[in-house]
Structure 1
Amino acid sequence: MSDMNTLVGKVSETNNKTIVTDGAHILNLKNSLERDISKKGVSEIINKSVEVVGNLLDKNIDAGERRGLIFGKIQSGKTNSFTTSLALAADNGYKCFVVLTSDNLWLYQQTISRLKKSLPGISIVGKEEWEHKVNAIKTRLELNGVIFVSTKNNTNLNKLVNILKETGANKYPAIIFDDEADQASLNTNIGKDDEPSRINALINNVRENFKNRTYIQVTATPQSLFLQGLENLYRPEFTILIEPGEGYIGGETFFSDPHYKYLLKEVAEDEIDSLISSKVRSVNKTLPVGLKRAICMFYVAATIKLLKNEGQHFSFLCHVSLKKADHEHIREIIQKYADNMAKTLYQKEERKLNALVTLLENAYNELLPYVDAIPTFDEVVNKLSFFISSTDIQLINTDSKNSSGQPTYDQVYNILIGGTKLGRGVTIERLLTTYYGRQAKKPQLDTVLQHARMYGYRARDLDVSRVFLPHHLAERFQLIYDSETALRDVITNHKDEGLRAIWISKEMKPTRSNVLDPNELGAFAAGKTYFPHKPLFKKSDIEGQTEAINHLLKDFMYKKESTIIPIEFVSTILTHTKTEPTSPGLWNEKRISLALNKLSNEFEECYLVVRTGRRLTRQEDYYANRGLGAVYQSNELKIAGDELPTLFMYRQDGFATDGWDNYNFWIPVFRFPKGNYAIMFNLS
């Protein structure tokens, strides 16, 4: 037996499962993972997989579905997480698995390859093999199980449904892993048509083929999933947070921690426009200053690593547009500049050489304080002179000569230019320098986050890694990091609750609009004020709550000015307020609680304003439809500043002559602090 004990994964207060963690599949995978990951890191991956398997629909139940989410970070090892979950499920008696990948041949082949290396005891069948292995699949389903791997496109999903029926796989309890589930799986006809969009309908069909199934979404950008309605088939019922392992470099390092501010190099705001082919008027195709600095930085950084025997092949990423014409334009001017650099270093014409050496020396001097045992500048230039002429400049788009669109890393210096294909799911090997300038009038949070190819297990290269981008894009990435962190904090602190809120800047959208129902979305906006339009007021409903709030606020009732209190005290007060379920407006105690959870990361204190002796009138007919129209007077909002969150508490006398129940009750009013943000959520 293994030194790992059998673990019990606690699923809920009513459902404990004993999970075998020392089976053949997981032990084999454990040994494989420990070649590249520390034992502690592998143990953490397995523990998360125990959570996943603990949440699966019991295979002994006749019919039903569980919906879950594996929520990782960009390039943090989500594939290892779902592969380990798959191995653990196989050791616990599950035999039928489906893995859905992006409709990208390169990523599909990468997934197939990883699964075959990681799970040699399970039969993995890709889309090319289904028709020829019907009998073999039937046999292997009875033995160690089968993993069906398919891309998410019309032809393959239809074939998948057919092979599941033909082999009888659909009679087995199934686990369906939908990789990058937020990308292509959601219904894009929301608000336009009663019929779901094509890929969404086909994935629904795959799921419905199994009577007993668990559908697990895998992504680092689940914003669109959490903004689905609570009853939506693509809204996760449980979420497993995957934390990166040792050596991971992400948004905190690049865009939040001031100790690493040197990693960012600002380029002029108008520089990106000079690279967009439709905006270039001059026939003189020259490199803008920032891109020139970035390329020189890359050549110096890669050569330093080469001289230190810390690698043989390195990458530069240029991502400024999704248009192929722009990619070609950028390739031409980078190729021209790289050729001129090579010629200058070879011919050593004094004037040109001096200018180039100055640029290279500036890059070297910028890296100098951060690189241990750095080679001399002369050594760098000499080595660069030898290798630079073999620089490989590649276009990574649908016109790529490589049919899969996959980058190659055959040379020391590999410069990659592209757009969409250099986004989601793509790991760029030994990426040292990123030049980013992707523009959008109303950017989408999840899309931009997927552009962060500089994230990943890159600690060994951090000393020479740099990101070149305009200031406003650096700010955008920081806002996205803040939003991602807030969402993960909400899940950590409210793990068993279905409500999720997305914290975003006002200048951004959380995701693409065509996968969201606008009638189900709400948002708390910076500087705005919210209150319950239908507070509970009958003595039988709130007697204990009123007494509790009276006690909490006894020291504040007669203060004319605002008082600064800990923000946690606001949460305590609001646990005693109650609102009718049919109350209109955005006020909801759970939503406010989640918003306070986020605000507490930014603010330690809050203003409190308390007023008593209020006499609002309740008109039966109007109240039944709309509730209270107003609770406060506009001049009262000026009592407290708007730089902090503010809670106004109004105690109503509750006289029967005013339409109430002859009992005091409290109405909370909460104002969000000013700023450039909103907190979005699904109203259901």
Structure 2
Amino acid sequence: MSVFETALGICQSLLAMDKMESGTPLTFENIASKVDEILAIPSFSKGVDREALIRQLEELFTTWANEPSAIGNDDDHKPWLSTKLTEIKWQFWSRYKIYLTERAKLGPIAVANVEKVTDEVLGRLEDPDRDGPWDRRGLVMGHVQSGKTATYTGLICKAADSGYKVIIVLAGLHNNLRSQTQIRLDEGFLGFKAVPPKTDSYGFEKTGVAEFGTGPKADSVTNRLEKGDFKKAFADQFGMHAGGNPLLFVVKKNVPVLKHLSGWINHSAESTDPETGRKFHRHIPLLIIDDEADQASVDTKTLALDEFGQPDEDHNPTITNQLIRSLLYAFDKSAYVGFTATPFANIFIHEQARTKTHGDDLFPRSFIVNLPAPSNYTGAARIFGIEEDPDAGLPETVPAPITYIISDHALTEKSDETQGWMPPKLVDKTDHIPLYDGERKIPPSLREAILCFIISTTVKKIRLPDQLFNSMLIHVTRFTKIQEIVREEVETELKNIEKRLEFGDGSRKPSIQDEFYSLWLNNYIPTSKNTNSSSTLPDWSVVSVQLLQVLKSIKVKSINGSALDSLDYELHKESGLSIIAIGGDKLSRGLTLEGLTVSYFLRSSKMYDTLMQMGRWFGYREKYLDLCRLYTTSELFEWFQHIATATEELRLEFDHMVNIGATPKEYGLRVRSHPAMLVTSAVKMKSGTTLSLSYAGDISETIIFNTAKSTIQNNLEATNHLLRSLGIPSTGERAGGYLWRNIVNSTTILDFLSLYESHNEAIRADTKLLSKYISKQNGQGELVEWSVKLASSGLKEAPDYSSCFGGLSVGAIFRAQNSAIEKNSKKFSIKRLVNPSDESADLSKDETSIALEKTRELWASSTRKNKPTEPPIQVSGRGIRFARPKKRGMLIIYPLDSTEAGLDIKIPIIGIAISFPNSNTAQEISYTVNNVFTKIGDYDEF
């Protein structure tokens, strides 16, 4: 151990004790003071870099994570963990906890967070010693690439310590992901390398946790090889009984594998239900961990309901779903925990679905646990930013300056989506030849991304010599034949760059060294400053001399269903590995790209969960975020930003459900009540072919507009038709707009909505759904009278639209085009339409007072980290809607400056917003998922 490592270990121990005693977070001053104490010792006074030591300790001790939150249903559940904490010998867990610190190099805060989460989940499972049958179903919501495997490995350790005897991990769809998961469980749980029986070395080669004590024993029926999935011949060597070692299975969600496993488990069952003939294990507690639980596990067949709305018990689920359920049904004591970063499909499972043969469906009826992201996690919100939404408690977050918008992959300037190197739509999906300028070569944007990968890898090796893995992702198509051509083109370009670096360019200008230096000067230096990185860039003279050596170490690999290549990190864990991974579906979910730095991403899906799971660049990159690069299209950037906002809103909604003591069933319904959360494929929403929606206490606003002149003209005419029917406004002038207060009937509003054309992607402002809701509330005596406001700008520079509104002096409202969307595209997209003061314009003094009181009440109960320290003095949207009488709604009309959409027309784009009061009699409206998803679309297949 070096002097630096010794000093680090001593400081870490002392600071951990300080933090434990004080119970408060450590500051920079605390850390620096302790470092200076240690460096005052003569043996440490030389050879230890003070700044480097402080920086590393800061990373260990200033990382934080909020407590996990959970909603649950404790029917037929007996709390047990708190009373048995001191009784259980935590042998598996103790080894793993040391492993996390010593091998995984997690700081004390991170380790403590893993312990909190595993205790939270384990306590919501059942006591394995509890008599009688029991069955718990739960879901853990994490973040993409945030360390789910580390968390469920900890859960497995604690479950085994508690007495769970059979542990089945469902590890994705592909061999390489299953193998990767097995290796991690060998390291974190088993303590030995699980290998095939023919090697005669099963269980003898120690690894991972075994380095920190002999500990308890567990057996693995599966092994770490690429094809080491369940095999009956090997399984027959193990007995399955209550007193034996815990038995681990790491299997793919593959029908033949699951059939063999289910058959083997049923064959050894010792009990039979006399009424149904079901064979089951009576005394062996089972735990199933379903990694990526929204993939393949969900029953996507349409579920028939009887005349009472109850699911048909003779329903025939999808085969993978029924096999997973059958595994659980084969044990009288069972627990199922799904892990996913995109839980939308899981909470749309019908909560009462069950069959006579397979038992209950996988709806997480017992609990849902939300894992907050640690402060050092880089997710979609950090990379793409968050759209401001004050009502949802979402402040605007500025995107990290690491994304580069590309367009040279296709001939978009010709408005032909079928031409170019990798166009959005391929005429021949399997025989396409990627050509740039008529040649088989990569486009300039991809070449620049490769140059960046070489620079980033070089800097990373200088800055972090202990980080051995570096990866670049090229994800442009799911078709393997095209991927192979891309691989050939990338290899050709790499060889060309290597040749120029090694032998020079002669008189060629710019030289390859000039190209690298230009990127360094114009890209890396400003990006490093703008990411607020604590790490600094080395001198270019140090970097440039190492570029060739780094380039020669880079390997190009195809990672797909037919490729022989695999991400063999295990074989290179001592020497390191730098790869450019080219793939499709195998890189779309679950598989970790170690040290991912640069991504070139064109693969598109308009399903939120699918697209989020493709984002392999999320994770822990604080030490080198300034070196990361993402090359993608403006459309994909917009989608990711929208998803980031929607996901953060979903998690805030979850926190609200926790505060009101809701159950998992109610959370699912709550998600369904927000159209923006329809974020998975239609077939996964089979329990809700018809979905329910309520706008009570909400505001609906148009933020996406069709730029066709005919649509813009139609919506202006619809607006004027409405205004003519309203007569003289109650109040108003150009500066601030015109208000018709409490005098408009609902028939007039419905007439306007029938004429107004909303964009087919504006799901939250679908005029047909809005009209249905208003009509249903009219039947309850609500929303029968309305206020209408026509917004207007008094700014001198605002274009004058007076001629468009029958003599009213109206100034255009300025709303900037979403920065990710190019002007002159087929749609105009903005971040927010409503000005908060417009929504409160129709409130009386008493109503305003009530709104402010409610706003402050919401502020006081908020758990947001960045909420203002002082009580608000302005009413919020939620406060306004609480105060507004139930019989009154408000329509706000915004004449938007059309030049912002890149249009050369003299009329405004009409945006509308409707503010709905709270209601305890809100009538839910129904709509068909397929219709909505036909509007959104699914894959934009390449």
The alpha carbon displacement at 1:64 in A equals: 3.5
The 5 Å alignment of 1:597-612 reads: 606=880
Q: Work out whether residues 393 and 415 of structure 1, in 8 Å CA contact, stay in contact via their aligned partners in 2.
A: yes
The alpha carbon displacement at 1:333 in A equals: 2.1
Q: Work out whether residues 105 and 404 of structure 1, in 8 Å CA contact, stay in contact via their aligned partners in 2.
A: no
Q: Work out whether residues 388 and 413 of structure 1, in 8 Å CA contact, stay in contact via their aligned partners in 2.
A: no
> Per the alignment, in what secondary structure is the counterpart of residue 79 of structure 2?
strand
Q: Does 1:521 align with 2:649?
A: no
Question: 1:162-192 CA deviation, whole Å, 9 max, x = no partner?
Answer: 3223444833132211111111111132269
Q: TM-score, normalised by structure 1?
A: 0.75
> Per the alignment, in what secondary structure is the counterpart of residue 119 of structure 1?
helix
Alignment partner, residue 420 of structure 1: 585
The 5 Å alignment of 1:526-605 reads: 526-527=764-765, 529=770, 530=773, 533=776, 559=844, 566=851, 569=854
Alignment partner, residue 231 of structure 1: 352
- How has the CA–CA distance of structure 1 residues 347 and 250 changed in structure 2, closer, same or farther, with 3 Å as cutoff? same
The alpha carbon displacement at 1:667 in A equals: 6.9
- How has the CA–CA distance of structure 1 residues 352 and 62 changed in structure 2, closer, same or farther, with 3 Å as cutoff? farther
The alpha carbon displacement at 1:434 in A equals: 0.8
Alignment partner, residue 622 of structure 1: none
Counterpart-to-counterpart distance in 1, 2:675 and 2:593: 31
The 5 Å alignment of 1:446-457 reads: 446-457=609-620
Alignment partner, residue 142 of structure 2: 72
Counterpart-to-counterpart distance in 1, 2:849 and 2:893: 9
Counterpart-to-counterpart distance in 1, 2:332 and 2:461: 56
Question: 1:560-610 CA deviation, whole Å, 9 max, x = no partner?
Answer: 99969759849999xxxxxxxxxxxxxxxxxxxxxxxxxx99956646785
Alignment partner, residue 578 of structure 1: none
> Per the alignment, in what secondary structure is the counterpart of residue 108 of structure 1?
helix
Match of 2:98 among 14, 31, 41: 31
> Per the alignment, in what secondary structure is the counterpart of residue 416 of structure 1?
strand
> Per the alignment, in what secondary structure is the counterpart of residue 91 of structure 1?
helix
Q: Does 1:297 align with 2:462?
A: no
Question: 1:93-132 CA deviation, whole Å, 9 max, x = no partner?
Answer: 3323222222321222222222232223322222446533
> Per the alignment, in what secondary structure is the counterpart of residue 490 of structure 2?
helix
Q: Does 1:367 align with 2:527?
A: no
The alpha carbon displacement at 1:58 in A equals: 4.4
- How has the CA–CA distance of structure 1 residues 314 and 145 changed in structure 2, closer, same or farther, with 3 Å as cutoff? closer
- How has the CA–CA distance of structure 1 residues 458 and 356 changed in structure 2, closer, same or farther, with 3 Å as cutoff? same
The alpha carbon displacement at 1:77 in A equals: 1.3
- How has the CA–CA distance of structure 1 residues 90 and 424 changed in structure 2, closer, same or farther, with 3 Å as cutoff? same
Q: Work out whether residues 345 and 385 of structure 1, in 8 Å CA contact, stay in contact via their aligned partners in 2.
A: yes
Counterpart-to-counterpart distance in 2, 1:174 and 1:130: 19
> Per the alignment, in what secondary structure is the counterpart of residue 302 of structure 1?
helix
What count of residue pairs does the alignment treat as equivalent? 587
Counterpart-to-counterpart distance in 2, 1:100 and 1:393: 29
Residue identity in the other structure for 1:331: R
Counterpart-to-counterpart distance in 2, 1:558 and 1:467: 47
- How has the CA–CA distance of structure 1 residues 208 and 412 changed in structure 2, closer, same or farther, with 3 Å as cutoff? closer
Alignment partner, residue 320 of structure 1: 476
Q: Work out whether residues 331 and 393 of structure 1, in 8 Å CA contact, stay in contact via their aligned partners in 2.
A: yes
Alignment partner, residue 177 of structure 1: 289
Q: Does 1:162 align with 2:266?
A: no
Alignment partner, residue 111 of structure 2: 42
Alignment partner, residue 240 of structure 2: 138
Question: 1:623-660 CA deviation, whole Å, 9 max, x = no partner?
Answer: xxxxxxxx87xxx744687776613589xxxxxxxxxx
> Per the alignment, in what secondary structure is the counterpart of residue 460 of structure 1?
coil
> Per the alignment, in what secondary structure is the counterpart of residue 254 of structure 1?
helix
Counterpart-to-counterpart distance in 2, 1:80 and 1:206: 24
Alignment partner, residue 543 of structure 1: none
Counterpart-to-counterpart distance in 2, 1:255 and 1:31: 36
The alpha carbon displacement at 1:90 in A equals: 2.5
Counterpart-to-counterpart distance in 2, 1:558 and 1:264: 44
Q: TM-score, normalised by structure 2?
A: 0.56
Match of 1:267 among 394, 401, 406: 406
Counterpart-to-counterpart distance in 2, 1:399 and 1:227: 34
The alpha carbon displacement at 1:305 in A equals: 2.0
Alignment partner, residue 907 of structure 2: none
Counterpart-to-counterpart distance in 2, 1:128 and 1:306: 39
Match of 2:338 among 197, 217, 231: 217
The alpha carbon displacement at 1:532 in A equals: 8.6
Q: Work out whether residues 487 and 556 of structure 2, in 8 Å CA contact, stay in contact via their aligned partners in 1.
A: yes
Percent sequence identity over aligned pairs: 23
Identify which range, 372-381 or 525-534, moves more after superposition. 525-534
The alpha carbon displacement at 1:367 in A equals: 1.3
Question: 1:179-237 CA deviation, whole Å, 9 max, x = no partner?
Answer: 11111111132269942111112112111111221111111111101122232422212
Alignment partner, residue 512 of structure 1: 681
Question: 1:347-403 CA deviation, whole Å, 9 max, x = no partner?
Answer: 212343524333312221221242755333344332213442443111111222236
Alignment partner, residue 547 of structure 1: none
Residue identity in the other structure for 1:54: G
Counterpart-to-counterpart distance in 2, 1:390 and 1:190: 51
**Gapped runs of 5+ residues in structure 1?**
539-554, 574-599, 613-630, 651-665, 672-677, 680-684
The alpha carbon displacement at 1:478 in A equals: 1.2
> Per the alignment, in what secondary structure is the counterpart of residue 336 of structure 1?
helix
Q: Does 1:189 align with 2:432?
A: no
Counterpart-to-counterpart distance in 2, 1:565 and 1:362: 59
Question: 1:449-500 CA deviation, whole Å, 9 max, x = no partner?
Answer: 1111111122222121111111221121111111221222222221332223
**Gapped runs of 5+ residues in structure 2?**
1-16, 21-69, 191-215, 223-228, 270-279, 305-313, 354-360, 387-396, 412-419, 424-430, 695-762, 782-839, 859-873, 895-910, 926-931, 934-942
Q: Work out whether residues 407 and 416 of structure 1, in 8 Å CA contact, stay in contact via their aligned partners in 2.
A: no
Q: Work out whether residues 565 and 607 of structure 1, in 8 Å CA contact, stay in contact via their aligned partners in 2.
A: no
The alpha carbon displacement at 1:295 in A equals: 1.2
Alignment partner, residue 123 of structure 2: 54
- How has the CA–CA distance of structure 1 residues 315 and 67 changed in structure 2, closer, same or farther, with 3 Å as cutoff? same
Counterpart-to-counterpart distance in 2, 1:58 and 1:405: 39
Q: Work out whether residues 498 and 548 of structure 2, in 8 Å CA contact, stay in contact via their aligned partners in 1.
A: yes
- How has the CA–CA distance of structure 1 residues 567 and 609 changed in structure 2, closer, same or farther, with 3 Å as cutoff? closer
Residue identity in the other structure for 2:491: Q
Residue identity in the other structure for 1:275: M
Identify which range, 364-373 or 269-278, moves more after superposition. 269-278
Counterpart-to-counterpart distance in 2, 1:12 and 1:405: 43
Alignment partner, residue 158 of structure 2: 88
Counterpart-to-counterpart distance in 1, 2:454 and 2:568: 24
Q: Work out whether residues 392 and 413 of structure 1, in 8 Å CA contact, stay in contact via their aligned partners in 2.
A: yes
Match of 1:647 among 916, 919, 934: 916
Alignment partner, residue 663 of structure 1: none
Alignment partner, residue 278 of structure 1: 432
Counterpart-to-counterpart distance in 1, 2:169 and 2:259: 15
Q: Work out whether residues 57 and 214 of structure 1, in 8 Å CA contact, stay in contact via their aligned partners in 2.
A: yes
Q: Which has the higher contact order (CA 8 A, sep 6+)?
A: 1
- How has the CA–CA distance of structure 1 residues 142 and 489 changed in structure 2, closer, same or farther, with 3 Å as cutoff? same
> Per the alignment, in what secondary structure is the counterpart of residue 457 of structure 2?
helix
Question: 1:314-363 CA deviation, whole Å, 9 max, x = no partner?
Answer: 21111111111321222222222211111212221234352433331222
Q: Work out whether residues 70 and 217 of structure 1, in 8 Å CA contact, stay in contact via their aligned partners in 2.
A: yes
Q: CA RMSD in A?
A: 4.2
Residue identity in the other structure for 2:112: S
Q: Work out whether residues 607 and 647 of structure 1, in 8 Å CA contact, stay in contact via their aligned partners in 2.
A: yes
The alpha carbon displacement at 1:279 in A equals: 7.2
